Structures are given as structure tokens and as C-alpha cells.
Amino acid sequence: MEDIIDGMKDNGARFCDIRREKWEVSHLIMKDGGIERMASGVEEGAMIRVLYGNGWGCVGTSALDRLSEAADRALGMAKQNDGSKSEKTGLGDVKAIQESVEMPMKRDFRDIDVEEKLSFMKELYGKLQEPHVKSVDIHYRDSFVEKEILNSDGTHVFMNIPRILGYVIVTGKGKTIQKATEGFGAVAGYEGIENAHTKAEAVLKRLKDLLDAENAPGGKMPLIMDNHLTGVFVHEAFGHAAEADLVSSGSSCLEGRLGEMVADESVTIVDDPTFKGYGSFPFDDEGTKARRRVLVDSGELNDYILNRESAWKLDLEPNGGARAEDFRVKPIVRMSNTLMMPGDMKMEELLEQVDRGIYAKSTSGGQVDPTQGTFQFNAQVAYLIENGEITTPLKDVSFSGFTLETLKNIKGLTDEMKTGVGHCGKGQSAPVTDGGPQTLISDVTVGGR
């Protein structure tokens, strides 16, 4: 790898790096107590990036014995792109690092035989049996990734990252057919499944309430988001707009707003790969040291999520925001663990401020437009709030609005924080955590069936 990088520099490359990866993955799916899928495997490969003039060349390969050929293709691609590109390209400066980090596991899931994993899934399936439950899907996945990143600036880092993930989908039938989901996961070993049984209890309660739920009212009204929905809102509606590739290309509602108040002063939002979450990592996929990024500080826009190229374009300091799905693709700007920091109120104090409104829990999807700064989310289940009391369960609840207007309409945050896990899609998939407190929004557009 060092010889290849030296050769690229000798042939005129301004910058080059190689990211070598080895993946060990296990994936199990159980449907209604039977095994639907059982797969495991090992895969290795590397991504080579070359910057020549203002042009990039990127080649991913699984032929590790032919890296030199892949590097030559990347250099040729970079030269072609340089010839057709008028816009200048650069990289923000970062300190060269030589370091190795192995993220800890109490129990290495690679040492756990498949029978034990299946036994766990069957036990979880047993806890999800209720008269109103008609179908249960359980997914389990673990992955152990070895990464080595070497670049022409002198960085050479190694990292081992174990991840474990599971989720359950329960479908029930009452007056209507309803579905509820819940996930669990961590950067950890097999111990990462420890809270799975509490998730089973939560998803059963949510499904039961959905089966008894009424149609939701519509109109503008106060809304309280639970911890999970707060996290999804922060990730989807705000976090994507804070990704600096969108900012630098003029595709974000946060462009040019550093130092401005974009939320109520009670609001602080961070994206933190050093937080103990499913989206954690010690170095990003450019080899930049991971660090906590305070995106909103007491309502003020304080930072973006930056890779080296977007940092150069915006004249800011890179902060470790480059991530790639695997060795086949180049790293792009991505979130990690995106969190709204808790406030100092209790749930009862939020409810006291609402004469008539909605308490929305978890999510079943939605859409955002980071350019226009708009969002629309669907809650898995919701409840009517009447005179400060949570009353009737509601189904088919959605809410929408403008991201920055909604952030300024936040009137209360509880003093506890909970998180959820998942994968974020942006052309590539990336493991993430999101979370926050329970959040009162004074005025938002709510829609029902």
C-alpha cells in the first residue's frame, strides 16, 4: 500500500489514499417461529482514491493482489476528470495520525454458534405471543469490520468495529390490521442484545394501542414527540441539512447561517461518533479522528458535519464526517450518533401546557427536503392530549412543517434522553443512532386519515 501511494505521488497525484476492509457478517431472519434466512460470510476489498489536479478517481476492488492495477485505473480516471472540470478542488488540513483502535466486546459474537443465536431469537419470539398478534418477524445481524486507512499525508490508522443489530416487526388484527416495529443494537459484542426483551414489551404495548386506536384529528395544534420521534426528527429534518456536502452545493436550508439562531435557545443538537451508540467509530473513512460536533449550541447554528473536501470549500476545519458503506464506494458526508440534548422539565410539565394536542410515539416513515427545509413524519402510534392528560389512542397520525420554524416552536424538553438505532440511506447505507428527550412543539400541522 505504501509503495502504491508513493507511485501515485510520483505520477503527479496531489493526494491519494487506500482504505482496506475485511467484513465478517452473520444475518438471521425468523418469521413466525421458522427460519427464513441464515447466512454468514467473509469479504475483503479496498477503495483507492486519487486526486489529480482538480479531478477525483475512485476505484473499489476485491482483488487485493491487484491493487496496483486498481490504482492505475483510479489515476487515469482522475486525470480524465481533471481535464473536464473547471471547479477547483481541495482538502481541508488535518493532523496526520498513526494509531490503532479496537472497539471492545465483552463476548465476541464470532465465537457464538448459530444454535445459541437461534435460541435467543426463539426465546424473543415466545415473548411476542399474544392473542392479538398474528405475525412476528425477527431480524438479527452482527458484523465485525477490520479497517486500515493509509494516505499520502502520512495518516495510517487501523480500527476494528463490532456491530450487532436486531429488530422485531409484529402485525396484529383487531378492527383493523396494524403493524409495530422496534429495534436494538450497539457497537459491542453479543452483549448488545441484552435489552431486546424490554423492546419486545414496548412493541407489544404499541401494537395493542394501535388496534384500539381511533382516527386522528387534523389541523394546527401542540405536539409532544417521544424520545424516539425526537431523535428521528433531529436526524432526518435537521441532520441531513447540516451535512456539509449539501451545504456547500447550495442544497441546504442551513447554508450561510452559521452564528444565526435557528432554534429555541433551549435546543442543543450534537452529532457525536464518540458517543456510545450504533453509529460510533474512532476514525472516519478518510482517517480523520472522530470528535463530538455541536451543530446547534443553545439555539445557535454552530457547526456542520464535514469531510475534508466540504471543509475546504466552506473554509472550515474538517471534523471526521466522511463515511462509506463499504470498500466498494467512496466516503461521503454522513451523520453518526445525532442527538438533541435533554432539558430540565418533567413530562408532566410538558402536558400541563397542552389543553388539546397530540402525543406522538416512534415513527413509521416520512420524508424531508433539506433544500426547502420541510418535513413530514408518520407516528407509529399517538394519543390525544385533553386538558393536560393523555387519553385516546390514535392511528394514522402524521405531522409536517418547516424545520427551522418547528425548532423555534419548541417550548419544553424533558430531562432524560433515550436513543434508537437504525441505518440511514443516502445512496449508501450507514449505521446510526438518534435520540433525545421528549419534546413539546407549540404549533405544528397534524394530519390524520
190 φ/ψ angles, rounded to the nearest 5 degrees: -65, -20
The set of cell numbers assigned to 312 is 475546504
Residue 67 half-sphere exposure toward CB, CA atoms < 13 A = 20
338's grid cell: 445525532
Residue 126 has pLDDT above 80, yes or no: yes
Q: What is the mean pLDDT of residues 271-282?
A: 97
- The percent of residues above 70 in pLDDT, for the chain, comes to 100
Kindly list the structural domains of the chain, giving each domain's residue range(s) and its CATH number in brackets, ordered by start.
2-211 (3.30.2290.10), 214-447 (no CATH)
The reported pLDDT for the residue numbered 388 is 96
What is the arithmetic mean of pLDDT over 390-396? 94
- Of the candidates 12, 20, 16, 6, the residue with the CA atom closest to the CA atom of residue 56: 16
pLDDT value at residue 320: 97
Structure confidence at residue 449 (pLDDT): 55
- Residue 448: its pLDDT value, please? 61
pLDDT of residue 365: 82
The mean pLDDT of 18-23, rounded to a whole number, is 98
As a dihedral over the C-alpha atoms of residue 24, residue 30, residue 31, residue 33, rounded to 10 degrees, the angle is 170
Contact 372, 235 (CB under 8 A): no
Cell of 360: 406522538
pTM score: 0.95
Q: Which has the closest alpha carbon to 223: 376, 71, 17, 439?
A: 439
Total residues found in the chain within this entry: 449
Q: What is the pLDDT of residue 85?
A: 86
- Of the candidates 150, 154, 153, 124, the residue with the CA atom closest to the CA atom of residue 136: 124
pLDDT of residue 215 exceeding 70:
yes
Average pLDDT, the chain: 95
CA distance linking residue 204 with residue 438, whole number of Å: 21
Confidence of residue 366 (pLDDT cuts 50, 70, 90): confident
Number of other residues whose CB lies within 10 A of the CB of residue 10:
8
Count Cα atoms within 13 angstroms, Cβ side, for 390. 18
Amino acid in the structure at residue 350: L
d(CA 58, CA 78): 8
pLDDT in tens, 39-94: 999 999 999 999 999 999 999 999 999 999 999 999 999 999 999 988 999 999 99
